Amino acid sequence: MDTIYKEILRLHETGQTGALCTIVHSQGSAPRHTGSKMLVYPDGRITGSVGGGEIESRVIQEALQAISDGKTRMLKYSLVDPKRGDVGICGGQVEVFVEPITPRPLLVVVGGGHVGKAVAHLAKWLGFRVAVSDDRAEFCNSEAVPDADEFYNVPLEELPKHINITPNTYLVLTTRGLMVDVPGLPALLDTPAAYIGVIGSKRRWIFARKKIIESGIPEEKLAKVYSPIGLDINAETPEEIAVSIMAEVIMRRNGGTGKSLKM
């Protein structure tokens, strides 16, 4: 049991997913008792057990689905008659609660300047795990951006080689210009990131988009990019811009509309 709890903690600390399966009710003859636990990893590996055999196989499949859709499950199994679909012949009944382990979302700020620093600060306060990436070492360290958890002093185009970008990852590009966006953005387009936002004016994005398409990237791939970034609140200061950006990130994460609640 200690091993499972330690593994859950490790998954949280490293931003990985899994599913915890717990027998919450056991009646009659059953292979494992109430409280038995099994941790399922995305690749199907397990730690612990809820009984082995057919019942465990079915629970693992349900756990993999829970990891995929993020929804809990209450599973009920009879162990009486395999001919009618039961998972065994012991004679008992088992109920298993499956709980997906979803780590804190990761927000990656690319560009550690004034706006990037403000975004990192706000994202940390909002509960995100924060990483900062910049090809300039002086903007990519704990002194420059004290609220970040991780630092990647690499060119933008190399970022996917250093960070495991998942559907729980939000990419915020507060970069210094087209010389970073145009060569670097294509590497992000094939990742499963939940959000890719690029700072700048409409004019800057139109020009960047044109250059990226001319480099051979299909136009439809750029449809997933949010630019200009953020919601329209007439933001001016780095802190106000950070609020605008994080409001859009939260909107995307929670399925909001961005409309005024008064409306």
pLDDT tens track for 128-176: 999 999 999 999 999 999 999 999 999 999 999 999 898 889 999 999 9
Cross-strand pairs, 172: 109, 197
Q: What share of the chain is helix, strand, coil (3-state, %, to 5)?
A: 40, 20, 40
Pairing of strands 129-133, 150-152: parallel
> Residue 51: CB partners within 8 Å, gap ≥ 6?
23, 30, 31, 32, 36, 94
Q: Is residue 228 reached through a cis peptide bond, with omega within 30 degrees of 0 on the bond before it? A: yes
Could you tell me which residue, 125 or 16, shows the higher pLDDT?
A: 125
- Can you tell me the distance from the alpha carbon of 73 to that of 56, in angstroms, rounded to the nearest whole number? 15
With tokens 């791939």, the residue in question is: 221
Could you tell me the two tokens for 157? Answer: 């185009």
Residue 28: predicted pLDDT = 62
Contact 210, 227 (CB under 8 A): no
Cross-strand pairs, 106: 129, 169
Contact 145, 116 (CB under 8 A): yes
Domains and CATH numbers, the chain: 2-101 (no CATH), 106-254 (3.40.50.720)
Cross-strand pairs, 109: 132, 172
Q: What's the pTM value of the predicted model, to 2 decimals?
A: 0.79
Residue type, 261: L
- Can you tell me the distance from the alpha carbon of 155 to that of 173, in angstroms, rounded to the nearest whole number? 12
Contact 172, 245 (CB under 8 A): yes
Residue 56: predicted pLDDT = 85
- Can you tell me the distance from the alpha carbon of 84 to that of 251, in angstroms, rounded to the nearest whole number? 46
- How confident is the model over 76-101, as a mean pLDDT? 68
Q: Is the pLDDT of residue 261 over 70?
A: yes
Q: Is the pLDDT of residue 85 over 80?
A: no
Contact 19, 98 (CB under 8 A): yes
Contact 151, 131 (CB under 8 A): yes
The phi and psi torsions of 193 (rounded to 5 degrees) equal -50, 140
Q: Is the pLDDT of residue 16 over 70?
A: yes
Q: For residue range 181-234, what is the model confidence (pLDDT) as tens digits?
A: 999 999 999 999 999 999 999 999 999 999 999 999 999 999 999 999 999 999
